[in-house]
Structures are given as C-alpha cells and as structure tokens.
Structure 1
Amino acid sequence: MTPEQLRDVVRTAVAAAVDRGELAVDVPDDVLVERPKNPEHGDYATNVALRLAKAAGRPPREVAEVLAGELRGHDGIERVDIAGPGFLNLVLAKDALGQIAVRAVTAGEGYGATQELAGQRLNLEFVSANPTGPVHIGGTRWAAVGDALGRLLTAAGAEVTREYYFNDAGAQIDRFARSLQAAAKQQPVPEDGYAGAYIDDIAARIVAEEPDLLDRDDDEQVRVFRSRGVDLMWDEIKTSLAEFGVVFDVYFSERTLHETGALEKAVARLREKGHVYEKDGAVWLRTTDFADDKDRVLVKSDGEPTYFAADCAYYLNKRERGFDKVVIMLGADHTGYVGRYKALVAAMGDDPEVNLEILIGQLVNLLRDGEPVRMSKRAGTVVNLEDLVEAIGADAARYALARTSIDQTIDLDLDLWSRQTNDNPVFYVQYAHARISSVLRNAADLGLALGEAADVDPAQLAHPREGDLLRAIGEFPRVLSSAAELRAPHRVARYLEELAGTYHRFYDNCRVLPRGDEETTPLNTARLWLCAATAGVLRNGLGVLGVSAPERM
C-alpha cells in the first residue's frame, strides 16, 4: 500500500465515521500521511484527528479513537496506535507494505506520475540567452533546472511547452555584428563589444563564405555579419544545448514581434484598457497603477519600441496561444524585472498571481583545487556550457546544477564532480542502479526471473531494511508531486541519494540470490522484485533530472 492509497484509506475512514454519525465534520479533500521520524512509531503517521477536532467540537484524542476503530478493520493495516495529543501511527500489514514493490515494477516508467496538474497548459521559458555568445554557466544552470522542471510538471499531469525566447533584435545584435566585423578586419574590439575565440571563429567562417565581404561598403558588411553571425551563433547554441540533452518545443524569435505587427497590437490592447499615455513625445504604460516603482516607456520619442514593449507583445502572444500560465526562469540579475512584468500582466487584464510565475535563480561558482575557475578561451570572459561538460560530463553537470535549490548559490567543485567515487553524488546514485542491474543479470544467469505479479509473496519482505526500502520507494510519487508544486527539482536529487543509501544498506543485510546449490525460495523472488522496483525508481528519478541510469560502471 503506497502513501497515496493510505491517504484514501484514511479519508474513507473519516467518511465512514461521518456516515454513522460518530463525527460531524466535512470529509477533507486530502489528508497528510507521512513517514514518522522514528521508525519505531510505525510505517506512517497522520495528524487528521488533530485537524478535524475543532470542527467536530471534540478533543483530538477522542476523534483519533473513532478513526482508529475504523482503520483497525482494514485488511492492509496491522496496527493503529494513538500518540501524543492525537496522532495516529499506522503499521501496515506485511503484504500491504510489500505490495509497494509490486506496484512500482508493474507501473514501470509511469510509477511516480500523477494527474494533480491535469488540465493546466503551461508555457515554460528558460535559458533564452542572447545569440551573442555561447551559453554561459548561469544559462547552463537554467538549462539543467528548466528541463528538469518541465519533466516534473509533465509527470504531474500538466501540458508543458518548453520555450526559448531568441533575442535577435536590438542594440546587442548591432554590437555583436560590429564585433564580428572588427575581428574580421583584425581591429580592436569595439566599445561594449564582444570578445573571445568564438568571435574570431564566426568572423572567419563568414568571410570564408563570402570572400569579397570586406570589400563592400560598411553598411553591407554590418548587415551580413549581423545576419550570418546570428544564424551561426544560434546554430551553435542549439547544438550545445541539444548535446546537453535540452531541446525546446518552441524557439521564438523576438524579431518576428517587430515584423508581424505584434508590438503595435500589444500597445493597442493596453491603450484600450486605458493604461497608455503620451509624454515628452514617447508612449508610456502606467505601470505604477499596478505597484511598479515607475511608469515604463513603450515607444521612445524617436519612434523605436523598447524592450518592454516587446515583453508586452510576447506575453500577449503566449496567452493568445492558449497558455493558462506563463512561467519564466531568470537569473539573479533580473530581480528588478519582476515588478514591471507583473504590472504588464495586470495591465493586460490578467491576474499576475494566476497567469504569471517568475522564478529567480542564483549564481554558480566553479572551483578547482579550492580556487575559483573564471576564464574560458572560448567565451572570452566566463566558463560556458561546453567547458563544464568537458570538465565533468553532461550527467554530472546536469545533476550538480539541479541538486541545489534555485534560490541558493552553488559552489561547484569540478574535482568532486569528476570523481568516480561515492563522495560524488551522481556517481553514488548511478552506482546503485548499476549494482542492481548486476544483481538482475546474475539472477538471469541462474535462471531466475521476476515472473508474474501474482506469483510474488510481498509478505516475505519482513526484514527491517526491506521495510525501510519499501517505504522509501512508496515516497517517490509524493516527492515528484511536491517537487513539481514547489518548482524544486533538487528535492528529487536529494531523494535519490537517500534511496541509493537505503538500497545499499538493504543489500548489505539481505541476501538476494541463492548461493551454490541452494534452492530458490519465495524470499529470493520477493527480494528480486524489491531490487527491480528500486532500479525502476532510480531510473525514473534520474530521468526527471535528464541524467542517464547506466547498467554498468
């Protein structure tokens, strides 16, 4: 019996007590069932009696006594104890606890998934780095976390579209083009321009494609360097992200907002809502009506639209594509952006608390031998995605970047994450999966197979370490659900590390396969199912993080 099933059992017990008139309360939509900190207190505990006591007008322990009587009659519950002010401690029947392994194996890739967010259409925008250089380490963190979050939300039943906003318009693109031109002419980098080996590489490729380019007039040179440079940089960004395992459903060009009249449409929409005014020859949005610290310019006095106008148009475009909520992942340097974006959403007539969610992430510090790693020949100034993958591998990079809460700065030790030892968290988890895979291969060599679910006796799994492992496996759906709700992929990583440790302790105490001429017993079969269940959860959890589950290491 999984925690989800046990929650339903507890709710049913409340409903039965209400139907018989023993409790006068509303049956709660959900109840809290969790593992107690002290295993001696039982397999699971619930505070439902404390929650219902006030509404019932009775002491919590009286409510607990009523519910305990109902729960003791359930076949899957061996014992119910009342503790403290009214907590219910539940001990499951051995076969009910063991059924967790059977359910995990039979559910396969679907184990852990829920439908809690079913019906929600979410647009998840992340990375969205400017096409003026490789994806830097901050963008790499968002690539790892954003992709994991997309997988989490999908596992919770949401319809998720992963989107990359490609900033291919504006002044930064002009500076990029001028930087390429200067590199091609072997001139100094322009003020506020871009430097690095990648600039030299792209400039050389463009000149090789069009050998007479530097003989043309200046405007034509800049036009070609802008067009081809953006295309080449964009191809490189997409390739490096794809090699990192991150592929987007939509790559949205900012330039299209300017070319299709989307900006004018957004300004017109805001004007109709009564929030636009003109001052000093510019067009303004009165965002101070929506708690912004100052009003924002939409169109400058020279007639050029601002970045903020593009933001308005882009948000409107997403909503018109049918998304219920726009989720945007931004770096720490964009904290001041939140207020104005909420204001534009409100000005559009939407509710920022319903239709918008902005996640702000913190920085990544790379260390080697305890010293900061700052320079990259490729990027010119900072370590980028390809540098990190080259240093520690894609699996370790993704796991390391997703393992810490996004609101915390990461100090990522390249030495630690490149080791093939148990102090490397991703190695520790992957090794657990490889170890189980070895057990299953050895079982096959002995002619042992899982067989049908009906053939396994879950009650055989009575050892304390087996119980620990079963309860850990049973927690996986709740972990995925809470991680999706809290936008916290790091919870999955930490859970996997605990699960791996729990498996290793089980393996050290419980022999799985028969030795020598020993005959196969129902206990061997049950433990084989428990191993297979653990492997499946490790695979599913690593899959959420976009990390492989190797069968050999």
Structure 2
Amino acid sequence: MTPEQLSTTIVDGLSTLVAEGAITLADGVPAEVTVERPRQKGHGDYATNVALQLAKKAGMNPRAFGELLAGQLLEADGIGAVDIAGPGFLNITVEAGAQGQVAAEIVAAGASYGSSDAFAGEKINLEFVSANPTGPLHIGGVRWAAVGDALGRVFTMTGADVTREYYFNDHGAQIDRFARSLLASAKGESAPEDGYGGQYIHDIAAAVVAERPDAATLPDEDAQEVFRALGVEMMFDEIKKSLHEFGVDFDVYFHEDELHKSGAVDRAVARLRELGTIYEKDGAVWLATEQYGDDQDRVVIKSDGKGAYLSGDLAYYLDKRERGFDRCFIMLGADHHGYVGRMMAMCAAFGDQPHVNLEILIGQLVNLLKDGEPLRMSKRAGTVVTIEDLVDAIGVDAARYALARYHTDSPIDIDLDLWARQTNDNPVFTVQYAHARIASLLRNAADLGVEAASHPDLLTHEKEGELLRVLAELPRVVKAAAELREPHRVARYLEELAPTYHRFYDSCRVLPRGDEETSDLHRARLMLVEATRVVLANGLGLLGVSAPERM
C-alpha cells in the first residue's frame, strides 16, 4: 500500500463518516490527505495529522475525531492497526500483504512508476541556461543545465507538456564586443579594453578566417559584421555541442534578434497600450510597473526611438503566452535577483498572474574545489571555469548529480576530488553502485533459473518493510519536486533508498545457496529487488544520470 493509496482509503473513510452523519465538514471532505512515514520506529508504518486538521471544522475534539476515523480505517482492506497518539495523530500499521504488494505494482509499472497527473493539461515553457554566445558555457550556466533539465523531466513525469527553450542573446552591446575581440585577434592585436580574452577567442577568430580568408582585410565595419555573424554562430554551435554531450538538448532555440526584426516589440507595446499600462513621458515610452509592485516605472522605448532592455522581455513573454504556454519559467543566476520585481510587474501589466503564469527561479553560485582550493581559471576560457573543466574532472554523471542535488537557493562547493572517487562518500557512486549491485544479483538469479514472483504475504521481515515503505515514496517525492520546483528532492531520496536496500540485502537472503531449493520467499524477495532496481533507475533518469549495469 503506497501513501497515495492510504490517502485514498482515509478520504473514503471520511466520506463514509460524513454520509452516515457521524461528522459534519462545512468545507466538504478533502480530495487528499497528507500521509507520512513516522520519524520513530514503533509508531506504525504511516502517520497522518488529518484529525488535528479537521476536528475544529467538525466541532469536535481531535482525539474523538481520530477515534471515529480509526474505526473506519480498521474496516478497510490492508489496514492492520490504527493507534491514536498525542492530541490526535493517527499511526497506521499496514498488513504485510498490502505492504508487500507494492513491489509487484512497481515492477508492473516499470519506467512509469513515480508518475502522476498532478500537472496534466499544463503547458509549460522552461527557459534555462540562455548564456550569451560570447564564450564557453561557464559553471553557473552548467548548474542551470543540470537543474533545468531535471526539472523538465520531473514536470513531464507529473503529466505536464514541457518545452525546453534556450533564449539566444544575439542582439546588443555584448555581441558587438565579442565581434571586435575576434577581429582584433585576427589582426594580431590585443583585445579591446572592454572585450573578451582567452584561447577560445583566438580559436574562433582563426576558424572565421579559415572560412572567410578576406574577413580581416575588409573595412572595420564590414569585417566586424562578418566576425559577428560567423563568430556568434560558431560559438553557439560549441555551446550546443557542450550541452548535448552533457545530456541537455532544447526543443526551441529562440533568437533575441528576431524580436527586434519581426515587430514583436511593437506588438507588445500595442497590447499594453490597449490595456492602459503604457504611457509617454519626456519623449520616451514607459510601462507603469510601479502600480504592480515594482520600485519604479520602466522605460520601454527610449527617447531616441530605440528599445530599452525591457522591450525585449515584453515581446518575448507575450510571444510565449501567444504560443499557448500556461506557465513560463525563467531560470536566472543570483546576480539577476533584482530583476524579479520588474518581471512580475510586467506579467501583471499583461493581465496575467505573477508567480503562476510567470515564475523566476534564482540559482546561487557554484564553486569548484581542487585539493581543497577554489578552481578559478579555465585553461581555455582564461577567466571562468567552464562545462568542459567540470566534465573533464569528474564526468557527466557526477557533474549532473552534484549540481542537481542541492536546493538552488544554496551556494554549493563541489569538491572535485570527492566526486571523482569511487567510494561511499561520493553520493552518485553510492546510488549508481546500488543499481549495479542489483543488476549483478539479477544476472545471478537468471543463471540459477530463479524468477521473481509476487508473494506479498511473505515479506514480513523488518528490513523488507523498511525497503517497501521507502520504495512506495517515489510518487510523492516526484510530485513534491514538481510542485516545489525542487528536483534535488529526488537525489536526496535516492541517497536514502540506496543504504536502505543494502541493509535489506545484508539481512535477508535473496537467492538460494548451494543445493538449497528455491522457495517462494526467494522469489518474493527477488521481486522486491527488481522493484528497487526500477525505482533507482527511474530516479536517476529524472536527474539525467545513467543507471549502470556494471561498475
């Protein structure tokens, strides 16, 4: 019995009590109730505080409410005992057969185990990374690559229609500086004072000259345009290649330049003018964002007729909504924290609901440590640590796992020495090793001709019960990860599951020894092992990390 199944049983019990007139709930019976594993052993398999939550609404003492509900639950299939603790907590013990059935259900569900319809019907645009194509992808952007892709997988697992989008910043002053830097390199000159340095600039400049040998000899304005067009394309191709090798691909690459060429900015201004949130002052066009919580109104079109930075944001957001997205997510670095207020005001100015139609997630800094010291310089980029530096040091799996296992609000230090080790103090090794160990056991079972079978009543050992309860948690963990935008919950769950499996394996013999005859208990435990493999693989898959068969 999973927590979700138990929640349904409790809701059914409440509905029966209401129908019989034993209790009255003014707001009606809740659609679901919270069911958790108790923190202390001996407090049953699951606990709920539903009596504390609903007793006041029913005009009853919580313990009296709990006693009525306990009576209903004891009549339900699969419930062994219900104890009322403290002011009205219900500690519920599930019958072994009902608990053991979870293993067969997981194996039958396979890759879909952990899924739900929590976000069914939601069309989500997930914009992440979106690094400027002026240099290799740095470690901050890599964090969003790991977290953003994992969040997309979690949303998909909960029923959402997800589009991963990369906003390609190919318009503005930073692109001009990049082009001038390439041109200077091609001419053998020092980089401009406000330009970009690093070996990659020389590499790309040489590649542009190889494709257009006359580029550096053109008049500066024409030459700069050639280096801009070809250089940006080459740099972005490298970024896309790096991300692909990191296991991250996007459904849409949206070019900022198109917003300004297509008239999208004018359309956004016209829409806002219709809504009465645009006005003109001092020859400029302003958006009245202060009335929506921003600290001041913002210029959209400057007095010289050129679009301010916000103009692109307006056009891009409107474009997403016109493409039918219900929820638009933007993932930004910590240096963009002050950006949130104006974006939410912009959302409200369009008549949308901030933090619903538009959500902005902020990610904190990432530091790489080598030999206990911060790693600050890239061999190639010259100024920042890049995705290649991280992958070269610890590999894709460890890099993705390390970046996704922390709350995005937390700055993280990644110890490269630790994450490269194949020991139990390396979290990704611990989880992957558990999967590989199970795969080995399953191969041995196949060699012995032992097949898994469902005998749920036989899984009565304490360690079997512990493992079953952890396995049953995956759907709840995935749903919470989606609702809270916290894919790190999946990683932490896997780090609980792996040692729980090892404790089970050390206490419960799975395969027969020597001439020992294969029993139904062996087959039932093999089903439990296979269920664990499914859950480990599904959890690792949500993080974009492989589930190895051998290590």
TM value normalised by structure 1 = 0.98
> In the TM superposition, what is the alpha-carbon distance from 1:75 to its structure 2 partner?
2.4
* Alignment match of 1:383 (pick from 382, 385, 404): 385
Partner SS state of residue 446, structure 2: helix
| Alignment CA distance shift 1:67-1:410 (3 Å) | same
* Alignment match of 2:205 (pick from 203, 206, 228): 203
Task: Read off the aligned partner of 2:141 and give its amino acid letter.
Answer: G
Partner of 1:78: 80
Task: Give the aligned CA root-mean-square deviation in angstroms.
Answer: 1.0
Partner of 2:489: 491
> In the TM superposition, what is the alpha-carbon distance from 1:513 to its structure 2 partner?
0.3
Q: Distance in 1 between matches of 2:81 and 2:281?
A: 74
Once structures 1 and 2 are overlaid, which stretch shifts more, 114-123 or 209-218? Answer: 209-218
Task: Read off the aligned partner of 2:521 and give its amino acid letter.
Answer: L
Once structures 1 and 2 are overlaid, which stretch shifts more, 142-151 or 349-358? Answer: 349-358
Partner SS state of residue 39, structure 1: coil
* 1:548 and 2:546 are equivalent in the alignment: yes
* 1:449-528 mapped onto 2 (5 Å cutoff): 449-450=451-452, 455-528=453-526
* 1:16-415 mapped onto 2 (5 Å cutoff): 16-25=16-25, 26-415=28-417
> In the TM superposition, what is the alpha-carbon distance from 1:301 to its structure 2 partner?
2.2
Q: Distance in 1 between matches of 2:364 and 2:223?
A: 39
Task: Read off the aligned partner of 2:401 and give its amino acid letter.
Answer: Y
Structure 1 unaligned segments of length 5 or more: list them.
none
Partner SS state of residue 237, structure 2: helix
> What are the Cα deviations for residues 359-418 of structure 1, in whole angstroms up to 9, with x where unaligned?
111000111111010000211201011110011000000000001100000011000000
Once structures 1 and 2 are overlaid, which stretch shifts more, 522-531 or 83-92? Answer: 83-92
* Alignment match of 2:528 (pick from 527, 530, 535): 530
Task: Read off the aligned partner of 2:253 and give its amino acid letter.
Answer: Y
> In the TM superposition, what is the alpha-carbon distance from 1:354 to its structure 2 partner?
2.4
> What are the Cα deviations for residues 282-302 of structure 1, in whole angstroms up to 9, with x where unaligned?
222221122211221112222
> What are the Cα deviations for residues 263-310 of structure 1, in whole angstroms up to 9, with x where unaligned?
111111122222222233322222112221122111222222122100
> In the TM superposition, what is the alpha-carbon distance from 1:476 to its structure 2 partner?
0.7
Q: Distance in 1 between matches of 2:478 and 2:217?
A: 59
Whether the aligned pair in 1 keeps the contact of 2:397 and 2:546 (CA below 8 Å) is yes
Aligned residues with identical type, % of pairs: 66
Q: Distance in 2 between matches of 1:145 and 1:503?
A: 26
Q: Distance in 2 between matches of 1:58 and 1:281?
A: 66
Whether the aligned pair in 1 keeps the contact of 2:215 and 2:227 (CA below 8 Å) is no
Partner SS state of residue 171, structure 2: coil
Task: Read off the aligned partner of 2:289 and give its amino acid letter.
Answer: T
Task: Read off the aligned partner of 1:7 and give its amino acid letter.
Answer: S
Partner SS state of residue 297, structure 1: strand
> What are the Cα deviations for residues 499-551 of structure 1, in whole angstroms up to 9, with x where unaligned?
00100111111111000000000110011000000010000000000000001
Task: Read off the aligned partner of 2:290 and give its amino acid letter.
Answer: T
Task: Read off the aligned partner of 1:14 and give its amino acid letter.
Answer: L
Partner SS state of residue 508, structure 1: helix
Q: Distance in 1 between matches of 2:384 and 2:524?
A: 52
Q: Distance in 2 between matches of 1:299 and 1:503?
A: 61
Q: Distance in 1 between matches of 2:174 and 2:247?
A: 28
Q: Distance in 1 between matches of 2:24 and 2:301?
A: 62
> In the TM superposition, what is the alpha-carbon distance from 1:55 to its structure 2 partner?
1.7
> In the TM superposition, what is the alpha-carbon distance from 1:351 to its structure 2 partner?
1.7
Task: Read off the aligned partner of 2:248 and give its amino acid letter.
Answer: V
Partner SS state of residue 40, structure 1: coil
Once structures 1 and 2 are overlaid, which stretch shifts more, 278-287 or 499-508? Answer: 278-287
Partner SS state of residue 342, structure 1: helix
Q: Distance in 2 between matches of 1:353 and 1:546?
A: 27
Partner SS state of residue 143, structure 1: helix
Task: Read off the aligned partner of 1:387 and give its amino acid letter.
Answer: D
TM value normalised by structure 2 = 0.98
Q: Distance in 1 between matches of 2:64 and 2:295?
A: 54
Q: Distance in 1 between matches of 2:67 and 2:223?
A: 83
Once structures 1 and 2 are overlaid, which stretch shifts more, 422-431 or 352-361? Answer: 352-361
Partner SS state of residue 90, structure 2: strand
> What are the Cα deviations for residues 468-501 of structure 1, in whole angstroms up to 9, with x where unaligned?
0000000111011111111111111010010001
